[in-house]
Amino acid sequence: MISVVRLWLIGLLVLPGSTASAHGGEDHGDTVTRQTVTPGIAPRAEAKSELFELLTELNGSQLTLYLDRFADNQPVQGARIEVESGTFKAVATAVDDHYRLMAGPLAKPGKHPLIFTITAGNDADLLETTLLVGGDDSAEPHPHPLRWRWPLLALGGVIAMAALLRFQFRRKTS
């Protein structure tokens, strides 16, 4: 007769430690590679190229842009930054070490694809990114479809263990 403890240990060995494992260089969705909306944090987007790095932050009705050189991470002064998103077009104004412009329709919830045309001295570049503004359910990342399995497997194991204990108890009393 197998003891309850042995059955429990066998159950632990049979249950997988993870619901999915990567194989063959495949990504099983454990990391979110797209931008996400985080409550309490201003919506942000970033873009980079061999010349520039650009961070965009939505602060109320204003879009704040931080432009740095990719090579040394130094702020770029005196650049001209044009922003386009659908029919929206604007030119950012330099303010201290960053740039600013009125966000207009970009302040509304949703996905806003952005194209930046940057001219700084002899350098020119075109950067693209997407700004996700909260309130749009499609902007939220969806959990990995297998993540719900582990709690159900654990619950099933507890129920099976309870049934085995009950069976063993009845067997000893009869």
Whole-Å CA distances, 121 to 28, 76, 78: 44, 10, 8
pLDDT (0 to 100) of residue 151? 73
Note whether residue 66 is domain-resident: yes
pLDDT the model gives residue 131:
94
- What was the pLDDT predicted at 143? 55
Residue 4 within any structural domain of the chain = no
Q: Which CATH number do you get for residue 91?
A: 2.60.40.10
Give domain status of residue 140, yes or no.
no
Task: Examine residue 6 and state whether it is found in any structural domain, yes or no.
Answer: no
8 Cβ contact partners less than 8 Å away, ≥ 6 residues apart: 161
Give the mean pLDDT of the chain. Answer: 78
pLDDT at 98: 94
Pick out the chain residues at pLDDT < 50.
Answer: 1, 18-19, 26-34, 136-140
Tell me if 141 is assigned to some domain.
Answer: no
Evaluate whether 108 touches 114 at the Cβ level (below 8 Å).
no
93 occurs within a structural domain: yes
The total domain count for the chain is 1
pLDDT at 15: 57
The parent domain of residue 111 ranges over 44-135
Q: Is 94 part of a structural domain of the chain? A: yes
The pLDDT score that the predictor gives to residue 56 is 94
pTM: 0.57
Q: Is residue 51 part of a domain?
A: yes
